[in-house]
């Protein structure tokens, strides 16, 4: 046994990796909450849907005519994986369009209605998944280069986790650029504050909101594909994703981008470290963390005043 800090180090690294993944799970949810002040409870189901769609695309029976399917299957796994990573979120985005079109009727009303509507949508999507793919567990195949592990400092590390954490960091950076550094981000944020003025300036707010919502659902599906090889694919994975996503937003504080990212990393660290000592109870740690933080800080870490606490 070495020094206690060195013993802890692998757990901290694992926790940080896990934290980035949690932040990735919350990213789409965060986008919709932050820019539209709407809670998308279907986030988890779309997350699961993304994973199932990718599985169908990569797996032995793609939804294509026979000759095309044969051609598709000749592609190396790496290519199929990369294409599935692009195509599956687009298909999930179509579902997102349908949900947003329904949700329009609730804008301007109590945010509870949007939440309930998406809860209904979550039930429908989850049951749909059960109907199509059944209740069994699946494993998403990943390219050879990403699977397996490597040895560093006498410890075995999973390659895939580091790859996933890298992707998560990149996605977080891109979304931040979109919100903070482009006109679109500014327009949508202004729309959440004063939709009348934004419309009067000649901006098509409905289309912008549709765009944000669809991007949020695509991010959910994307996160589902990235997380699938780690968590496995099963109908319940949606609930396993939406609860941490929601938790991270509340912990970070509604309306704060970096608050949510930090909350994700904190949750990852909490789950990772508690997992090392009391693995049975590690999932509890994030709830305890949330209760502790929100008891002291009423709006989470960096929350701003928002419509969602009226």
* Site residues (vs another protein, CB under 8 A): 39, 102, 105-106, 109, 111-113, 116-117, 119-124, 126-128, 130-131, 239, 243, 246-247, 250, 254, 280-281, 283-284, 287-288, 290-291, 294-295, 298-300, 303, 306, 308-310
Q: Which is nearer to another protein, 57 or 247 (CB)?
A: 247
Host H or E run for residue 258? helix 257-277
Contacts made by residues 11-15, CB under 8 angstroms, sequence distance 24+: 11/272, 11/273, 11/275, 11/276, 12/269, 12/272, 12/273, 14/161, 14/272, 15/268, 15/269, 15/270, 15/271, 15/272, 15/273
Candidates 210, 179, 209; CA nearest to 94 is: 210
Least Cβ distance, residue 135 to another protein (angstroms): 11
Least distance CB 112 / another protein (angstroms): 6
Specify the residue, 3 or 135, whose C-beta has the smaller distance to another protein: 135
- What lies within 8 Å, CB to CB, of 46 at 6+ separation is 28, 92, 95, 96, 125, 217, 220, 221, 224, 238
Question: Which CB, 112 or 156, lies closer to another protein?
Answer: 112
Q: What sign does the dihedral 29-32-34-39 (CA atoms) show?
A: negative
Closest distance between another protein and the C-beta of residue 173, in Å? 26
Q: Tell me which residue has tokens 């994700």.
A: 264
119 or 184: CB nearest another protein: 119
- Nearer to another protein among residue 119 and residue 163 (C-beta): 119
**Residues ≥6 apart with Cβ < 8 Å to 228:** 51, 54, 55, 140, 237
Phi, psi of 64 (to 5 degrees): -135, 160
Dist CA 250 CA 238 (whole Å): 19
- Whole-number minimum distance, CB 169 to another protein, in Å? 26
Asked if residues 303 and 254 have their Cβ atoms less than 8 Å apart, the reply is: yes
Block residue for tokens 């046994």: 1
Contact present, 259 and 303 (Cβ < 8 Å): yes
Of the pair 158, 306, the CB lying nearest another protein is at 306
Could you tell me if 168 and 20 are in contact, meaning their C-beta atoms sit under 8 angstroms apart?
A: yes
Q: Which is nearer to another protein, 126 or 164 (CB)?
A: 126
Residues in Cβ contact with 114 at an 8 Å cutoff, skipping those fewer than 6 apart: 38, 39, 40, 103, 106, 107
Nearer to another protein, 215 or 245 (CB): 245
């Amino acid at each position: 046994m070495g020094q206690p800090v060195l013993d802890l180090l692998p757990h901290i690294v694992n926790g940080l990796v896990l934290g980035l993944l949690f932040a990735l799970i919350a990213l789409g949810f965060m986008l919709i909450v932050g820019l539209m002040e709407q809670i998308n409870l279907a986030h988890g189901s779309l997350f699961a849907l993304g994973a199932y769609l990718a599985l169908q695309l990569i797996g032995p029976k793609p939804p294509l005519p026979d000759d095309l399917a044969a051609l598709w299957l000749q592609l190396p796994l790496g290519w199929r994986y990369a294409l599935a990573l692009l195509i599956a979120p687009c298909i999930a985005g179509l579902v997102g369009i349908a949900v947003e079109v329904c949700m329009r009727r609730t804008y301007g009303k109590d945010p509870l209605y949007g939440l309930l509507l998406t809860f209904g949508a979550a039930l429908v999507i989850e049951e749909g998944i059960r109907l199509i793919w059944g209740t069994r567990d699946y494993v998403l195949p990943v390219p050879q280069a990403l699977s397996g592990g490597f040895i560093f400092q006498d410890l075995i590390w999973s390659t895939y986790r580091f790859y996933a954490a890298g992707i998560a960091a990149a996605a977080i950076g891109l979304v931040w650029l979109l919100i903070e550094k482009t006109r679109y981000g500014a327009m949508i944020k202004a729309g959440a504050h004063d939709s009348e003025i934004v419309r009067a300036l000649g901006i098509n707010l409905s289309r912008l909101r549709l765009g944000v919502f669809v991007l949020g659902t695509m991010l959910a599906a994307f996160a589902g594909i990235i997380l699938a090889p780690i968590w496995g694919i099963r109908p319940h994975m949606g609930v396993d994703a939406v609860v941490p996503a929601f938790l991270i937003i509340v912990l970070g504080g509604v309306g704060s981008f970096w608050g949510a990212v930090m909350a994700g990393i904190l949750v990852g660290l909490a789950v990772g470290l508690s997992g090392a000592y009391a693995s049975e109870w590690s999932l509890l740690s994030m709830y305890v963390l949330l209760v502790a933080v929100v008891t002291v800080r009423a709006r989470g870490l960096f929350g701003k005043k928002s419509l969602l606490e009226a």
